[in-house]
Amino acid sequence: MSLLTPPALSIRSYPTTGEVSVALADLFVTLSADAIQTRGRFTVGLSGGSLPKILAADLVKRGDAVEWDKLTVFFCDERLVPLDHEDSNYRLCHEELFSKVPIPEAQIHTINADLLDNADEVAEDYKDRLINVFAAMNSAKFPVFDLLLLGIGPDGHTCSLFPGHSSLENTVDWVISEENSPKPPPRRITLTLPVLNHAHNVCFVATGEGKQDMLKRVIDEKDQEIPSALVQPAHGTLYWFLDDKASAKLTSIDKSDQ
Ligand SMILES: O=C(O)[C@H](O)[C@@H](O)[C@H](O)[C@H](O)COP(=O)(O)O
């Protein structure tokens, strides 16, 4: 596949959020088994917002269907707050998922909370953590995640990549800081677009009526001003897992394909 070829695309919509959770758990189980068989481990990036709850709802019931000890977890973005702070994506994921399944704590890669005063140092340190894991696995210029799970904000942001921000033009770094996030809290780190676009699989999860208009701009209109529309994994598959409220205005969706 050439870099100019659009990614394989799978857009799915389900009547309820509960059904989105079941389908997402199915995807997680399938992709983890494939990755572990091929590469010996499953590297995943998690986002904050509504994603952890939707992901965990059914996944925590899957027991041995996932080889939890072969997971390596990073955060697609993280807020620069202590790890036990109510705004921490780690804390949210811990409450919803990590505390309920046997993922070894050492395989969950958090930001270094001792560096919180300096956002660039947190980003640099997080890049080093990625290098430690991915340099041993592949020689690509960017880490190649097995699965990145993303949300989309009402302004079309994903991770902490916001419309109009210079972060969207960054083509060289793996992790960057963002100190003016319009979504609170303002200080964050985020994976960059090239990291998102090198993944084997990227899956956006969006539910609820509030997402309708933005999904139309991103999926139907492919509006290049919107960060989420710039996520196009060159050699991977791009999934959209939606509920019927979120997908109501989409024309480019084939509900028979599910
Ligand atoms: O840390 C964050 O704020 C998130 O990673 C962010 O990118 C989130 O995924 C979107 O804002 C969607 O959030 P919802 O799913 O809650 O709408």
Q: Contact, 83 vs 90, CB < 8 A?
A: yes
What pLDDT is stored for residue 122 in this prediction?
98
Q: Which residues, in sequence order, are CB contacts of 156 under 8 Å at separation 6+? A: 163, 214, 217, 218, 223, 225, 226, 227, 228, 229
Query: Which residue from 249, 72, 80 is spatially nearest to 160, judged by alpha carbons?
Result: 80
Q: How far is CA 118 from the centre of its chain?
A: 24
- Ligand 1 center from residue 48 Cα (angstroms): 5
Q: CA angle 198-207-89, nearest 5°?
A: 60
Atom of ligand 1 nearest to the CA of 188: 1
From residue 12, give the alpha-carbon distance in Å to each of 47, 96, 146, 232: 19, 24, 20, 17
- Ligand 1 center from residue 17 Cα (angstroms): 16
- Protein residue with its CA nearest to atom 2 in ligand 1: 48
- Best of 24, 44, 50 to mutate for ligand 1, by most ligand atoms within 8 A of CB? 50
d(CA 142, CA 138): 9
Spell out which residues line ligand 1, taking CB within 6 angstroms.
47-51, 77, 79, 89, 151-153, 157-159, 183
Q: How many CA atoms lie within 13 A of 198 on its CB side?
A: 19
- Ligand 1 center from residue 93 Cα (angstroms): 13
Directed axis angle between helix 89-96 and helix 51-59, to 10°? 20
Domains of the chain, with CATH numbers?
25-243 (3.40.50.1360)
Q: Contact, 140 vs 234, CB < 8 A?
A: no
Is the predicted ipTM greater than 0.95, yes or no? Answer: yes
Q: Which letter does DSSP use for residue 258 in this model?
A: -
Torsion of CA 108, 114, 117, 118, to 10 degrees: -60
- Ligand 1 center from residue 37 Cα (angstroms): 31
What pLDDT is stored for residue 56 in this prediction?
98
- Tens-level pLDDT at each residue, the chain (258 residues): 334 455 699 999 999 999 999 999 999 999 999 999 999 999 999 999 999 999 999 999 998 899 999 999 999 999 999 999 999 999 999 999 999 999 999 999 999 999 999 999 999 999 999 999 998 666 668 999 999 999 999 999 999 999 999 999 999 999 999 999 999 999 999 999 999 999 999 999 999 999 999 999 999 999 999 999 999 999 999 999 999 999 999 997 765 445
What pLDDT is stored for residue 3 in this prediction?
41
pTM of the model: 0.95
- Ligand 1 center from residue 152 Cα (angstroms): 6
What pLDDT is stored for residue 1 in this prediction?
32
